[in-house]
Amino acid sequence: MKIGLAQINAVVGDFPANVKRILAAYRECLDGGAELVVTPELALVGYPPRDLVFKSHFVPRCLQALDYLAGEIGEVPLVVGYIDVHHPARPGKPFRNAAAWLEQGAIRQRIWKTLLPTYDVFDERRYFEPGETCEPLRWNGWRIGVTICEDIWTDESLQRPFYDRDPVAELSTLGIDLLLNLSASPFHLGKPLQRQALISGVARAAKVPVVYCNAVGGNDQLVFDGHSLVADAAGHIRAQLPGFVETCLVIDPFNTATAAQIEAEADPAQLYQALVLGLRDYVTKCGFSSVCLGLSGGIDSALTAVIAADALGPQAVHGLTMPSGYSSAGSVEDSLALAHNLGIGCDVVPIGDAFEAVKAAMQPVFAGKPEDVTEENMQARIRGLLLMALSNKEGRLLLTTGNKSELAVGYCTIYGDMCGGLAVISDLPKVRVYEVARWLNREREVIPWSTIDKPPSAELRPDQKDQDTLPPYETLDAILELYVEQHLSADEIIGRGFEENTVRWIQRRVDLNEWKRQQAAPGLRVTSKAFGIGRRMPIVQRFGG
Amino acid sequence: MKIGLAQINAVVGDFPANVKRILAAYRECLDGGAELVVTPELALVGYPPRDLVFKSHFVPRCLQALDYLAGEIGEVPLVVGYIDVHHPARPGKPFRNAAAWLEQGAIRQRIWKTLLPTYDVFDERRYFEPGETCEPLRWNGWRIGVTICEDIWTDESLQRPFYDRDPVAELSTLGIDLLLNLSASPFHLGKPLQRQALISGVARAAKVPVVYCNAVGGNDQLVFDGHSLVADAAGHIRAQLPGFVETCLVIDPFNTATAAQIEAEADPAQLYQALVLGLRDYVTKCGFSSVCLGLSGGIDSALTAVIAADALGPQAVHGLTMPSGYSSAGSVEDSLALAHNLGIGCDVVPIGDAFEAVKAAMQPVFAGKPEDVTEENMQARIRGLLLMALSNKEGRLLLTTGNKSELAVGYCTIYGDMCGGLAVISDLPKVRVYEVARWLNREREVIPWSTIDKPPSAELRPDQKDQDTLPPYETLDAILELYVEQHLSADEIIGRGFEENTVRWIQRRVDLNEWKRQQAAPGLRVTSKAFGIGRRMPIVQRFGG
């Protein structure tokens, strides 16, 4: 049985465009000889639609689009993800996360998602009622299990055993020949490998081939990486679709003659591709065609610029480098060298006069109080103001360039360097920023080596270095991993051998800066626990570390 | 049976302080002759703790605090809200939203919340596993039903029938003499009346008295208003505790001799008290003692200043009025008159020179392009920068002053007038801002009448008025109510008689400005649908209206 996998990039809520995209992929699969075509989860809708589903006409329009789509489907069935209504008179949530089996111009069958993730970035119990039964679908003598994303995730693959049901086991007990899974499984580092192990295990447990079609594309903070998979009944991965691109594949999962050659991609390559796709989709799906950003001569803004130039083309990217009296010569030189390497525009806009004017305005209020972090923040905020002016004047989306380590401890200025519509690398710890930058330079100098090699500095006071304030980044990132991602206490982290004062300083800074992060630009999630929608901390709290 | 209601104001995660608070209220109730004392939901923890519960030592410390608390309890039982663990080896969420019956130094009984709200501002299925059974607790010959918040909310009180269980009916079937409810039910306009009807109906249905103890205090965006209630078995409200204050009451719900005299408070009085409490708790629970804000001479900043001066005392509030060449004389005069009326400090800081310096810096980049909204935003951002400088220099929390109507359509400048740690009135539609301002002035002029009577203006270009850009506020607010709160489509709103161009303009502006709102300061929720944690829209979407 030849099955087409339509690994498509849907736009949330754009039903007409998503129908077109699905039909184009369906027809491409037909041309490839497919006898059955599968899309990702909620392919008709885009994942996640979040509270859009509550709009009075959102799900009705989705159902209209499904009807239209069904009318375009012939003998070769299409299994497509959409949102259905739950029975209005029965208790529960108003909707279903659903898949429809379309065939011969009609909706032949509707399947509900059974396991509804409600953790991390997922809120499905807010919207959906789980399916009550899991039954195989019969088609041409085959018994096919149709599942949606979480339905096949086993206890071992999750943080803890969340569910008291096991759709794969229920389907297996009833008897299936093939398992389909429609997914919208977002990327984080290591996820593609994790999914291979999962799909392989599911196939082995169910003793049938598994066809796993994952979404691709960026939607707000989430980047879906594709990497759809096909496993045979013995659990061998027979195909993996390319990552980070919209694509189709037609394959017979019962024909196990050829094994897939899957090259594991290096971490920086994965991270970089995810960020390029996430940036491109955020900018273009929002309707922008160009971006701007501040270039400081430092590594964070340099990496952000490279990602932007790759995602949108260099002509769509414009930098400002904004020296002050505290800026090193390198800050302008390295910025211009980077701009030259990338072929992007860059203007030099000194901030000295504006800084003096702002200080003068506040002088009567401050009445002789000494300069302190206030004046450092003023400089960062003047730069933010100038960048937003460029953004407003030219209709460019401003990219903010901060990394995860500084966002964690608040080593960044709100309304200053935090200004922007998208925080491109805000989920990359600083050590990873260096790793990706060196990987980018593996063949030729993309980011000036002087940018990579110099000690990092905010250059907001004379001879300032990040490490005047922060622990070494290796230490900072290691502690942040334990505190933020693993939720360990300061005491537990100290118990692992880290220096007490450092741990407590980091813990306090992370907690105190929650308010800043809640006003941060959305960031592209590339680790298993990003600041953003998957981490919901109160601002007002006194728990401590 | 004399029951003590401990309507306390807990701080999220501050277990030692919450224990003290609970014990103080418990002892106050003992002094009043209480034979049983009840706290609000999660009184030991503060509601909502959100993802703090995932910290490795959060729930363990909660359980330690509960043990300590139990040791302090004598013959008079205390029913207290806390978080318990779910069985680690059983599938489901890791925790329980729980109540403990403490008596004679021990935990006599643990009760789990059965109905877990997962809609609007609530995320309880993210954290908690529901209780499996509802059974009365036997004490001194009484059969007592202990329920937690949502457990008693009936289908009619909710948006739709969410649940297939009914804890009150289950308890009634088994037989109870009294129903207790521990709540953390946040305020919105109309909620106190809604709760009276609910509690009255529950008492009538169960044919027993209901003692309903609600939380009070602000936690991030939520304001809990107290207004705890006692109903007799016939459904008559026998007592309502005061709103917006920490307090206790001892009452015998079986003694129906006296009926409660409940005066319904006017809308502006409710709104004002909620905002004062929300501001005070946000500022002080965050550890600040003073605030600053920009005073424009307009009504939004004036109302915000009044609330702040009331919440924190006038000496804790400092204003800046920052005229430009486009400012009216009234902007400074009215600001100073307001500051005088309130007894708060106010400095005049002209922005002209800083504005010129910023324009001059960008002049080579803009190369003769005409002035437009860019320069308007520059002025707003210079003001934000100056206010943040004051905040940084003096350790004051900056309050932002925008209202809900302008936040909805993006008639505000991100990183400009949106700067601040708390958006005090961001859930008040402009028409409500006027209503509250006039109510404040009912006896004497608090807000200068000239501020209330003049046409609203951002004063960012010559002779600018809000109504050059926006529809009249009555129209705008009416359409926003239908579009944002009721989720109607543009077509449906037009069908109700509103002008098509106006509706479509508003709909587009609301959708386009989602990115701004996601970087807005947290706002105090006072309506049934605030922007903030209860409304989760994607930024990247193309659904349209």
| Model confidence pLDDT, tens digit, residues B105-115 | 999 999 999 99
Specify whether the CB–CB gap between B94 and B65 falls below 8 A: no
Same domain? A243 vs A203: yes
Same domain? B236 vs B304: no
- Say which of A29, A103, A113, A246 is annotated catalytic: A113
pLDDT at B262: 83
Of B377, B414, B541, the CB nearest to A13: B541
Q: Which helix (H) or strand (E) holds A364?
A: helix A352-366
H helical segments located in B77-233: 167-174, 191-206
> Rounded to an integer, what distance in angstroms lies between the CA atom of residue A498 and that of residue A507?
12
User: Please, what sign has the CA dihedral across residues B509, B515, B521, B522?
Assistant: positive
- Choosing from B466, B488, B522, the residue where a domain stops is B466
Length of chain B: 545
pLDDT at B130: 97
Structure-token pair, residue A428:
């990359």
pLDDT category, A255, cuts 50, 70, 90? Answer: confident
Average pLDDT, chain A: 96
Cβ <8 Å between A537 and B51: yes
Amino acid at B37: V
> Rounded to an integer, what distance in angstroms lies between the CA atom of residue A439 and that of residue A442?
5
Interface test mutation site (partner A, options B540, B541, B542, max chain A beta carbons within 10 A) = B540
Position A542 in a domain: no
Cβ <8 Å between B123 and A126: yes
Position A486 in a domain: no
A231-235, A256-260, B480-484: range with lowest mean pLDDT = A256-260
- How far are the Cα atoms of A189, A190, A202, A225, B211 from residue A271, in angstroms, in the given order? 7, 10, 27, 11, 55
pLDDT, mean of residues A193-221: 97
Cβ <8 Å between A46 and B541: yes
Same domain? A247 vs A387: no
Nearest-by-CA chain B residue for A48: B538
What single DSSP character describes residue B125? Answer: G
pLDDT at A519: 98
> Rounded to an integer, what distance in angstroms lies between the CA atom of residue A183 and that of residue A147?
9
Of A12, A52, A388, the CB nearest to B415: A388
Length of chain A: 545
Same domain? B223 vs B157: yes
User: Please, what sign has the CA dihedral across residues A123, A125, A129, A130?
Assistant: positive
> Which pLDDT tens digits describe chain B residue by residue (545 residues)?
999 999 999 999 999 999 999 999 999 999 999 999 999 999 999 999 999 999 999 999 999 999 999 999 999 999 999 999 998 888 999 999 999 999 999 999 999 999 999 999 999 999 999 999 999 999 999 999 999 999 999 888 888 889 999 999 999 999 999 999 999 999 999 999 999 999 999 999 999 999 999 999 999 999 999 999 999 999 999 999 999 999 999 999 998 667 777 888 999 999 999 999 999 999 999 999 999 999 999 999 999 999 999 999 999 999 999 999 999 988 999 999 999 999 999 999 999 999 999 999 999 999 889 999 999 999 999 999 999 999 999 999 999 999 999 999 999 999 999 999 999 999 999 999 999 999 999 999 999 999 999 999 999 998 889 988 899 999 999 999 999 999 999 999 999 999 999 999 999 999 999 999 999 999 999 999 999 999 999 999 999 77
Can you point out the beta strands (E) in A205-315? 210-214, 216-219, 222-225, 229-231, 237-240, 247-251, 291-294
Structure-token pair, residue A62:
């989705």
Of B91, B118, B542, the CB nearest to A13: B542
Q: How many CB atoms lie within 10 A of CB B105?
A: 12
% of chain A residues with pLDDT over 70: 99
- Specify burial of residue B501 (Cβ count, 10 A radius: 0-12, 13-18, 19+): exposed
Specify whether the CB–CB gap between B3 and B211 falls below 8 A: yes
Contacts A164 to B, Cβ<8 Å: 91-92
Cβ <8 Å between A91 and B123: no
Position B88 in a domain: yes
Same domain? B422 vs B283: yes
Strand partners, B319: B293, B346
CATH number of the domain that residue B151 is part of: 3.60.110.10
- Choosing from B255, B279, B295, the residue where a domain stops is B255
Cβ <8 Å between B56 and A488: yes
> Rounded to an integer, what distance in angstroms lies between the CA atom of residue B283 and that of residue B271?
18
| B239 closest CA partner among B260, B225, B254, B258 | B260
Nearest-by-CA chain B residue for A535: B51
Strand partners, A84: A96
- How far are the Cα atoms of A53, A54, B319, B493, B542 from residue A60, in angstroms, in the given order? 10, 11, 50, 17, 16
Pairing of strands B291-294, A317-321: unpaired
Position A232 in a domain: yes
Position B498 in a domain: no
- Say which of A29, A41, A103, A346 is annotated catalytic: A41
> Rounded to an integer, what distance in angstroms lies between the CA atom of residue B136 and that of residue B147?
10
> Rounded to an integer, what distance in angstroms lies between the CA atom of residue B274 and that of residue A423?
35
Position B16 in a domain: yes
Cβ <8 Å between B386 and A50: no
Domains of chain A: total: 2
CA distance A533 to chain B (A): 10
pLDDT at B421: 98
pLDDT at B56: 96
CATH number of the domain that residue B438 is part of: 3.40.50.620
Cβ <8 Å between A389 and B162: no
Cβ <8 Å between B347 and A365: yes
pLDDT at A270: 97
Provide the domain limits for residue A408.
Answer: 271-469
Contacts A358 to B, Cβ<8 Å: 354, 357, 382, 385-386, 389
B48: preceding bond cis by omega (within 30 degrees): yes
pLDDT at A260: 74
Contacts A162 to B, Cβ<8 Å: 91-93
Residues of B labelled as active-site residues: 41, 113, 149
How many cross-chain Cβ pairs, A to B, lie less than 8 Å apart?
Answer: 280
Contacts B529 to A, Cβ<8 Å: none
- Give pLDDT tens digits for A154-201: 888 888 899 999 999 999 999 999 999 999 999 999 999 999 999 999
Cβ <8 Å between A515 and B285: no
Position B426 in a domain: yes
The phi, psi pair for A347, rounded to 5°, reads -110, 150
Same domain? B21 vs B92: yes
Nearest-by-CA chain B residue for A95: B162
Q: Which helix (H) or strand (E) holds A201?
A: helix A191-206
Same domain? B176 vs B316: no
- Choosing from B446, B466, B486, the residue where a domain stops is B466
H helical segments located in A15-92: 15-31, 58-71
Contacts A281 to B, Cβ<8 Å: 540
Same domain? A341 vs A192: no
Q: How many CB atoms lie within 10 A of CB B186?
A: 24
Same domain? A172 vs A76: yes
Nearest-by-CA chain B residue for A392: B374
Same domain? A199 vs A59: yes
Position B541 in a domain: no
Of B125, B393, B488, the CB nearest to A125: B125
The phi, psi pair for B91, rounded to 5°, reads -65, 155
What single DSSP character describes residue A542? Answer: -
Strand order in the sheet with B345-348: B345-348, B317-321, B291-294, B397-400, B422-423
Cβ <8 Å between B393 and A369: yes
CA distance A24 to chain B (A): 20
pLDDT category, A256, cuts 50, 70, 90? Answer: low
Same domain? A178 vs A304: no
| B301 closest CA partner among B268, B270, B346 | B346
- Give pLDDT tens digits for A344-390: 999 999 999 999 999 999 999 998 899 999 999 999 999 999 999 99
Nearest-by-CA chain B residue for A353: B357
- Say which of A29, A62, A134, A149 is annotated catalytic: A149
Cβ <8 Å between A94 and B160: yes
Cβ <8 Å between A92 and B164: yes
- Give pLDDT tens digits for A69-109: 999 999 999 999 999 999 888 899 999 999 999 999 999 99
Same domain? B210 vs B301: no
pLDDT, mean of residues A410-436: 98
CA distance B232 to chain A (A): 29
Specify whether the CB–CB gap between B1 and B208 falls below 8 A: no
pLDDT at B156: 82
